[in-house]
Amino acid sequence: MHSMANLAAIVFVVILKVAVLWPFTAAQLRPDYYAGVCPNLEGIVRSSVKQSMVKSPISAPATLRLFFHDCATTGCDASVMIIGSTGDDENPDGYLLKPEGFQTILDAKAAVDSDPQCRYKVSCADIIALATRESVSQSGGPNYTVELGRYDGRKSTDRSVRLPDPSDNLDSLNAFFSTLGLSQTDMIALSGGHTLGAADCDFFKYRTGGNDQSMNPSFDAQLQETCAKQNFAFLDDVTPIGFDNLYYRNLQNGRGLLGSDQVLYTDERSRGTVDFYAANQGTFFSDFVIAMTKLGRVGVKTAADGELRRDCRYPN
């Protein structure tokens, strides 16, 4: 009889704890987070991103970079989307986050909210994570499961921005990524995101003209010519809109665009991983997915410190 009473007491305490912790446990990430409230979420985002990619080849690279920038700065909370009323926000002009990435997210959010079941129930942070997966997979990269349940942050300031520098050496890159809980292997796999998109000449011009011995001389000449005509060059100029492992093969040939790209091959401590990904696209894809999943867990907000933003550009 006693043990029955004890059991009942234990069950009561467990239920009470679950009830008290609900707002926090509810924000634990899981793939089926929206299954009840917005069952068609993934399909809606998939077709919206598809349309964005048809409209512009910049959509996919810009969205992938937006996700990295968002997660690396105060966590994956869509704070990068906020337009600060005084001009102070995470996206001042210097970082060159392209408008096509923001538009991809705003269009996906509008598509989600046009479904009455889903309206205002899905966070902007989760829409960024899903739109990023679509940008990668619809560019030929891996199609992976996305964990969901992030809340949106309420703040966005320029001074909170923390990003690696394109001239960083391996130690600096490792130091930066370790603050996000990411390993050197994660960092090398994520750098493979530079299989898509372009960089402004200002970020790599200092390496050209024979100033960087790790740069292939014919690539050097090609970049000087490119930058004389336009202000950008592709990060992977072999397949700039295809998500593949040619980024790593370029590094083997001294054709990495940014200093932070080429150093992954120049430094013997990371060269083995570059060689491995250059030879095994499947392993690159699976390590990229592992690293993106870890990146997607950085600084996740809960109902206690976040909200479901109605307009991704402004806190509610």
Interface ranges with ligand HEM (CB under 6 A): 58, 61-62, 64-65, 68, 96, 98, 164-166, 168, 173, 190-191, 193-194, 196-200, 203, 235, 258, 260
The answer to whether the annotation marks 287 as part of a ligand binding site is: no
The answer to whether the annotation marks 302 as part of a ligand binding site is: no
The answer to whether the annotation marks 113 as part of a ligand binding site is: no
Tell me whether residue 198 or residue 312 sits nearer to ligand HEM (CB atom).
198
208 Cβ neighbours under 8 A, 6+ residues apart: 215, 220, 223, 224, 227
Is 2 among the residues known to form the active site?
A: no
35 Cβ neighbours under 8 A, 6+ residues apart: none
The answer to whether the annotation marks 195 as part of a ligand binding site is: yes
Structural tokens at position 26: 């509810």
The one catalytic residue in 69, 133, 255, 309 is 69
Nearest 5 degrees, angle CA 185-CA 190-CA 195?
125
Say how far apart CA 238 and CA 253 lie, in whole Å.
12
Tell me whether residue 122 or residue 291 sits nearer to ligand HEM (CB atom).
291
Tell me whether residue 148 or residue 189 sits nearer to ligand HEM (CB atom).
189
* Burial class of residue 226, CB neighbours in 10 A (0-12, 13-18, 19+): middle
The answer to whether the annotation marks 75 as part of a ligand binding site is: yes
Tell me whether residue 127 or residue 199 sits nearer to ligand HEM (CB atom).
199
Say how far apart CA 288 and CA 282 lie, in whole Å.
10
Closest CA to 306 of 294, 315, 295: 315
Q: Looking at the DSSP assignment, which residues form a beta bridge with residue 91? A: none
Annotated binding site for substrate: 164
Active-site residue numbers? 69
